[in-house]
Structure formats: C-alpha cells, structure tokens
Structure 1
C-alpha cells in the first residue's frame, strides 16, 4: 500500500501533523538530515519543496527559502539523489511539492520513476491544470503508484471538489484561504464555515488543512476540522525562527 494511504488508514483515531520545508536550504546537503530529524520528533508526513524561481503560491518566507536553495545549487536531480541516499532510513511518507516547470524540464515520466526510486509517495503540483492531470499526469502517476495531491480553496466550487475527490487519491489539501502561504493568528468565522461545509460533503478522501497555521489556536482549529494540519512558513528552516515552539 502507498505510504500516504497507509498513514491515513492506520491513524483514523488521531490527528496528523505534516511539515513543509524547502530542499537545499539552509544548506545544499542538509535535506536528509532535516527529514530524519523530523521523523525522530514524531512528524507524520513531510512535504519537501522543490525550489523554483517563480513560486506563485508561496509567501515571502518560503520564497526566500527557495531563492537560497537555488543559489546553493539545489536541482530536481540533486534532490532525488539525496532522497535516494536516505530511502532505507525513512519510514514516513514523503511528498514532493513543486511547480510544473521544473518537473516538465526533468521529464514527467522520469520524475515519477525517480519518485519511486527515492522513496517518495506523493506530489503536490500547485499550478498543474486538472485537465492535464487527468490526461497526462494521472496515467503516469498511477503506473508508479504515486499520489498526486490536489488543492482546494474556499473559492473552489462544490462540483469541482467532488470531481477532485472522485479522481484523486491519498488526501485533499484544504487551503485555508485563497491567498499565498503565510502565518495567520486565527481562523475567522468564514473560514470555519468553509471547513464545516467541506466536512458536511462526506468526501471519500481525508483532508489536511494548510496555509496559515501559525500558533496553537490555528493548529488546533485545523486538526479539529480535518484529518490533520500542514505547517510550512512557521517551520521553514531557512527562516530566522526555524524552531517549532511548545504550542505543538
């Protein structure tokens, strides 16, 4: 069974926590050490960011991390080589998060083949059009048993959400707002209503809430309204405050 599916199947009675960090930051060779440290701390799933020069969905913290990673020399090829080195040491699911351009440059089939070879269980491609996913990417991802995770926002129609739920597997990434990544002090009534509406749809796939998880209040709220939470900007090792504080 794919590690993402196994994670959710085996942990229905507790809330999950996933962390995001950008590969190649703060140091080019530190990716494996960051992943192993996260696993030792009990993190359930890790999103590894592929740095890109034009990250449309990323806030300033993650953009800065990507810029530093690119300056350090991180590439898709280098990342796969690093992940392959630790494949036998890491048990938790790894999800690569990156934009379509560097993936296409690497080669779509080569990318998913390398995912298998390096122990990656899923991908998140924020700018991947859903039609292209269905026609081009999904058949290749299915061939290699790699999950392609889709995002939904408060602006995503119910029809679209149900279509995504029908044609994807693993989990659905619930973006807490339609804005870029970054911290928020709390979730307002409109966002809580959005969470409640999604839960009332009885979707097939579990959901993880990300974007804006910045303190104990937003973490608890996200975990109360989904299978778990995803933390990015508040953890990013390249930021000036890379430590997850006691509110976790």
Structure 2
C-alpha cells in the first residue's frame, strides 16, 4: 500500500452528524431529560460548528446516559438507530468514493471526533474496517463492560486527530511520510490541523471557514452531496 486515505465521517461521508443525531435518538427513546439534554445537545453542536467546542465538557454530558445501561441493551438501541437514522442517509456517492480508493489498494480509515460506540457500525456500513474514534472506557477495562462515562486515551479531535493517526500508523510500522500520497477528506474547520499534515487535503462539503482556507491554500474542494 503506497497511498493512505483518511475520511472524516459526519457531513463528510454521511450528510448528517451521527453524534448529534444519536443525542436526538436518546431523547426519542426517553433515555435522558428531553428539555435539558436537547438544550445541551444543540449548544455543544453549535460550539463544534463554530470551532470552540470544549470536547471534555461535551463528553461528560454525552456519555453519561450510556453508563446507565448494559451493553446488549445499548447495542439493540444502536441497531434501531442505524435502521432509522443512519442507513437511509448513506449515499451512493460516499460509497463510490471509498470503493475507488479501495480498488486502488489504498489503506482506508475513518477518523472521527465522535465516539467509537456510535461510529463503529457506521464505518462498517460504509465498508471501512479501520476506525479512529474517541474510545470509551469500560468497567475493569472489559471489552464488553459497562461504559464508565470516561474516555480511554486522547480524543481524536482537532490536533488530537494528528496524534491518533500517528499512533495508529505506528501500530502498522508506518508514518505519514511512508506513503506516496496521503488523502484526508473532511468538511470541518476543526480538521484543518490534520488536513495540513497530509499530501492531498480534500475539503469535502466544507463549512465556510474550511472552504475559505482551502481556497487560500489551493486545496481541492469536493462537493460530494448535492
């Protein structure tokens, strides 16, 4: 493999925000105080869009509901979430983009600031085996243990995406410099740090800040969803 293809997830490969939608789904199921959680969910989502999200403050709120339920129960709800919210949103354009890189033998990976519980099944639905996401701590470190509400390791957010990418590549005995080309597709201003590290940054369905940055730096812009 001489090329690397990294993909942000939300509003990049899917035309929605999986973290935000999972919050709305928990409200629908009655797992949280609807009024308070809705206010928090919208406030943090706006902070993310504006590039000023306190990721740790957000995670304290977003992860707390997961601690109250067994993993099997959460998995049942997530299958419902996939069927009702995510699968209908998966677009052929995104599948074709991923398939094109895979057909060329590129090493493909989703890297997202959403947690691995929410995004693992989504990455698999897109046909991507490798995922870098916010890892969730479990009781006793058990693979199927109840979630504690804490995270394990550095969050894959902003500059943290660089660190997590480097760590992941190191497990494969590689660095970014080992690839003939390295692509990163993202919609978000929050991903500019990692976009600046790859050889081929692609501003994909970009927000206004990223669009302007891409134009100023001569980066490719891709409108995947019209």
- Shorter chain as normaliser: what TM range? 0.3 to 0.5
**TM-score when normalising by structure 2:** 0.34
**TM-score when normalising by structure 1:** 0.32
Task: Name the structure where helix makes up a greater proportion of residues.
Answer: 2
Task: Name the structure where strand makes up a greater proportion of residues.
Answer: 2
